[in-house]
Amino acid sequence: MASSSIDQIPSAAETLTSQLPSDNTPTSVEPIPSSDSHPTADVPMASSSIGELTSVAETLTSHLPSDISSAPVEAVGEKRKRDDEKTNLESSDPNLTPSPWWKTSLCSYFRRQGNCSHGSTCRYAHGEEELRQKPDNTWDPTSERGKKAKMSENAGKCDAEEEEREVLFTEDMMDENDGEEGCGDSVHDLSLSKCLVHLPRKWQSDDLKKFIGELGVEFKFAKKRRGMMVGFLTFENAEQLQSGVETLEGKAVGHKNLKIADVLPRATEKNQTKNPAKIKSAREAVTPLADLSYADQLEQKKASMMQWLKKLTRNARKACPNGKSLPEWVLQSREIGGLSCKLEGIIESPVRNGYRNKCEFSAGYSVEGKTTVGFLLGNFSAGVTAVEEPVDCPNISKIACRYASIFQTFLENSRLPVWNKFKNFGFWRQLTVREGRKPGVISNGEDAETSIAEAMLIVQVCTTGTDEAEVATEFEEMAKAFAEGAKASSPTLPLTVLLVQDHQGISNVAPPDCPLRLLPIPMSDNETTNQDQPTNVLAEARIHDHINNLRFSISPTAFFQVNTGAAEKLYSLAGDWADLGPDTLLFDVCCGTGTIGLTLAHRVGMVIGIEMNASAVSDAERNAKINGLSNCKFICSKAEDVMSSLLKEYLDVSQMEEAKPPSNANDDLDKQISSTEEMSNSEPVDDQSLPTPNIHEEHQNNEQKDSSSSEPERSTKLQFKNVVAIVDPPRPGLHPDVIKALRTHPRLRTLVYISCNPETLVANAIELCTPSFLEKAEQGNNGYRKQRRMGTAASARHRAKKMPASEPFRPVKAMAVDIFPHTDHCEMVMLLKR
């Protein structure tokens, strides 16, 4: 304390001396000794020095002018205040004008603690009542008025965007007349039509008519849809138009002023001179890379896959626990340009044009308002509902295009309406064409259609509010149109199965259990007809395709790779990387119709397929019988529900369990397993000769098989030295429970991940390949709410914190496979080991 005082006083004395007038400088004041000559440890000497220096300071102060001596001396360390703050904020003089920033921000101490030590003299507002607007006419963003202003600003931006989007499609929306009389003739006379912008979202046509009627405006037709900010008004003549515009322009509606805009003509009309929004063609929407050479397409996809591998490395660094060293593969990524593993390259598709064996065509209206069967030109969320024919899409086969054209011609004369996405009403919704190719035939370009041997047509409808007799008549005429169109084509189109799917949802994506109805296909007089066959035998509603000399039976809703030629290369690559052998147990997760497991069954000891689609599991069992494969089992269940128990059952069999009697065949898991081991010595059979399965007989056979061959089966489980899992999940990726089961089982050392969505591959690989946390992460609702706002990679990092202690996998290598030429999509195969 004494030392600091000694150091401060000479400085204060020098400051005061410098402020003295030259003629008033005292001559009798002795020089102030330096604080260095006084040892700080000697307290008495320091005390006397303080007294002497204090006397000197008083003497100096007495010689100062009155205006200087009366000025307050600021405390050491206190922040100096601006002149306007000293004058305006702290002065008690009521005549002084306060600072423009006075009380324009909320006091943080008052907001957090409910009080403030400054009281009424605080420059910040204590509550919303004291808060003032800032000089720039804005409010404190933390205040209620500031938050409301921000929300209004954001809403205004959204409204402006929606206004621009909706006005561009006004004429299309006007065609949806909702049964109004007289609107059909007026929508084409755009000179007498106007668009009303800034209407309340909750208004409908009746509200708009009432509002216009109260203003005394005469009109012919008014249209307004709930949820949109635009309405449409059509007048009888030019005089009504001019009078109505003068009355409505700028009229206050709610908190906004009404705006009158012209109805834009369609983008395809010749009189269109300016179109702010460019509507894509079907070729641009479905095959955006079609105008590039195939070599450029491959380079672009390869570069995209490399970016995803780099993203995996970056997120793996973030996901590693604090205090743990980074995995070796993350450290080695610097040597290969930041990639999580080496990208071996990209495999070309053997067929590049007309390669899709499954095409889904939407039924709707073109930009010109014509009934069309084809592809949507954009997203419904963007206000685009126009459909265009698929004739310019190079990935669609000519057979599929031809059937779409036949269906479109039929809909033009149909008595039932086409599905309307705005109204969620209509009958005809979608046409799906599935094709089956001949064995061993891979053709490209013009000859691609010669390799197609079978075709399945699935027409999706919505029968809500329709008459059964009228629907039955329409179905008969439709079947006749397809049969005649297929026969009239040159060459003749194959037509194997015709089905109707009754779906009443909003989206065209129907659930797997959506009801199906098999329609008879009329034949000519000199051909065998199937009119007398029952129409409810869905077991025969299937087509066939071939992969690696194996024949696959495909039901209407079962998954099958859309590019058969590229799928052969994909599955061969997965088998080569998995290091398979006779002592290998292969888990085919998300197996679909069993294509991966069945094509690799001859290279492993046993295959266990898991699929949640019951019809696909039935196809997999049938495919195993067709090809005479006896070492395959297929389970109909969600992988997350049975994966953990299956790993324990087939890998964790101890000597004590081996001596136990076999479990009862009525167990839940055994009920789900359908084995084909009893056919080990049978020859390949044709699935068309197979009888309709009898559930009761199959259950008895399974009981006999389990009771007679349970001991050999138990010993079989112990002979697998190598355990491999191949996963081919849908676009959302693997369920977290499946990832946990794969990650925590120590016997599973090799995992081959086939992904059609690299984003979810990165997310799943984060959970599989990052170290476990030593301590269990905190769980709670707050963390769950935060996780909902995360991206896929961030959510995966969050879930990785809860992963039980286990040895992580490491990415070894990756390969891109071009399953979808002319599009920006690509399959990725990644080998994971530990």
pLDDT for position 551:
93
Three-class SS of residue 407?
helix
The contacts of residue 380 (CB under 8 Å, 6+ apart) are 421
With contact defined as beta carbons under 8 Å apart, do 619 and 552 qualify? yes
pLDDT band at residue 81 under the 50/70/90 scheme: very low
User: Percentage of the chain surpassing pLDDT 90?
Assistant: 34
pLDDT digits (tens, 9 = 90+) for 526-547: 454 443 343 446 567 889 999 9
The Cα 623–Cα 401 span in angstroms is 29
Task: Tell me the mean pLDDT in the region 518-525.
Answer: 80
pLDDT for position 54:
55
Residue 533 DSSP one-character state: S
Task: Tell me the mean pLDDT in the region 324-348.
Answer: 92
Phi then psi for residue 261, to 5 deg, are -130, 155
DSSP track, 170-192:
HHHHHT--TT-TTHHHHTT-GGG
Q: What is the reported pTM?
A: 0.63
pLDDT band at residue 681 under the 50/70/90 scheme: very low
Tell me the two tokens of residue 688: 């068309």
Task: Tell me the mean pLDDT in the region 367-378.
Answer: 90
Omega before residue 100 within 30° of 0, cis? no
Which of 187-191, 347-351, 773-777, 814-818 comes out lowest in average pLDDT?
A: 773-777
Q: How far is CA 632 from CA 199, 516, 687, in A?
A: 63, 29, 17
pLDDT for position 803:
82
Q: Answer yes or no: same fold for 170-263 and 358-543.
A: no
With contact defined as beta carbons under 8 Å apart, do 253 and 200 qualify? yes
Catalytic residues: 756
Which residue has better confidence, 102 or 21?
102
Nearest to 625 by CA among 586, 669, 675, 671: 675
pLDDT band at residue 71 under the 50/70/90 scheme: very low
Which residue has better confidence, 284 or 773?
284
Task: Tell me the mean pLDDT in the region 789-809.
Answer: 81
The Cα 88–Cα 84 span in angstroms is 6
pLDDT band at residue 258 under the 50/70/90 scheme: confident
pLDDT for position 190:
72
Cα 305 → chain centroid: 18
pLDDT for position 164:
42
Task: Tell me the mean pLDDT in the region 124-128.
Answer: 85
Highest mean pLDDT (candidates 159-168, 248-257, 590-599): 590-599
pLDDT band at residue 95 under the 50/70/90 scheme: low
pLDDT for position 473:
95
pLDDT for position 353:
92
pLDDT for position 712:
41
Three-class SS of residue 485?
helix
Neighbours of 124 (CB within 10 A): 20
Which residue has better confidence, 135 or 186?
135
Q: What is the 3-state secondary structure (H, E, C) of 357-397?
A: CEEEEEEEECCCCCEEEEEECCCHHHCCCEEECCCCCCCCC
Q: Is the pLDDT of residue 96 over 70?
A: no
Q: How far apart are the first and last CA of the chain?
A: 66
With contact defined as beta carbons under 8 Å apart, do 435 and 535 qualify? no
Tell me the two tokens of residue 815: 């390969």
Residue 351 identity: V
Which residue has better confidence, 434 or 43?
434
Q: Which CATH number fits domain 358-543: 2.40.50.1070, 3.40.50.2000, 1.25.40.10, 3.40.50.720?
A: 2.40.50.1070
pLDDT for position 46:
43
pLDDT for position 444:
64
Q: Is the pLDDT of residue 381 over 70?
A: no
pLDDT for position 52:
58
Q: Is the CA virtual torsion 501, 504, 506, 510 positive or negative? A: negative
pLDDT for position 80:
47
With contact defined as beta carbons under 8 Å apart, do 756 and 827 qualify? yes
pLDDT band at residue 506 under the 50/70/90 scheme: confident
With contact defined as beta carbons under 8 Å apart, do 315 and 796 qualify? yes
Q: Is the pLDDT of residue 167 over 60?
A: no
- How many alpha carbons fall within 13 Å on the CB side of residue 93? 7
pLDDT digits (tens, 9 = 90+) for 403-453: 999 999 999 999 999 998 877 889 999 999 999 998 877 666 556 667 889
**Residue list for the binding site for S-adenosyl-L-methionine:** 561, 611, 728
pLDDT for position 295:
95
The Cα 526–Cα 342 span in angstroms is 61
The Cα 552–Cα 456 span in angstroms is 14
- Top-level CATH class of 170-263? alpha beta
Beta strands in 593-645 (DSSP E): 606-611, 632-636
Q: Is the pLDDT of residue 265 over 60?
A: no
With contact defined as beta carbons under 8 Å apart, do 611 and 598 qualify? no
Q: Is the pLDDT of residue 28 over 80?
A: no
Three-class SS of residue 244?
helix
- How many alpha carbons fall within 13 Å on the CB side of residue 581? 8
The contacts of residue 423 (CB under 8 Å, 6+ apart) are 176, 178
Could you tell me the residue ranges of all domains in the chain?
53-159, 170-263, 358-543
pLDDT band at residue 800 under the 50/70/90 scheme: confident
The Cα 434–Cα 806 span in angstroms is 44
Which of 73-82, 167-176, 193-202, 676-685 comes out lowest in average pLDDT?
A: 676-685
Task: Tell me the mean pLDDT in the region 588-614.
Answer: 91
Pairing of β 750-755 and β 827-833: antiparallel
Residue 689 identity: S
pLDDT for position 744:
87
pLDDT band at residue 50 under the 50/70/90 scheme: low
Task: Name the region of 323 (left: φ>0; alpha: ψ -120 to 50; beta: rest).
Answer: left
Average pLDDT, the chain: 75
Nearest to 722 by CA among 615, 819, 581: 581
pLDDT digits (tens, 9 = 90+) for 210-231: 888 888 888 888 888 767 788 8
Task: Tell me the mean pLDDT in the region 389-405.
Answer: 94
Which residue shows structure tokens 């065949």? 665
The Cα 98–Cα 94 span in angstroms is 9
513-543 as b/e: b if 16+ CB within 10 A: eeebbbbbbbeeeeeeeeeeeeeeebbebbb
Which residue has better confidence, 267 or 375?
375
Q: Is the pLDDT of residue 19 over 60?
A: no
Q: Is the pLDDT of residue 511 over 60?
A: yes
Q: Is the pLDDT of residue 351 over 50?
A: yes
Task: Tell me the mean pLDDT in the region 461-470.
Answer: 92
Q: What is the 3-state secondary structure (H, E, C) of 669-726?
A: HHHHEEECHHHCCCCCCCHHHCCCCCHHHHHHHHHHHHHHHHHHHHHHHHCCCEEEEE
The Cα 117–Cα 150 span in angstroms is 31
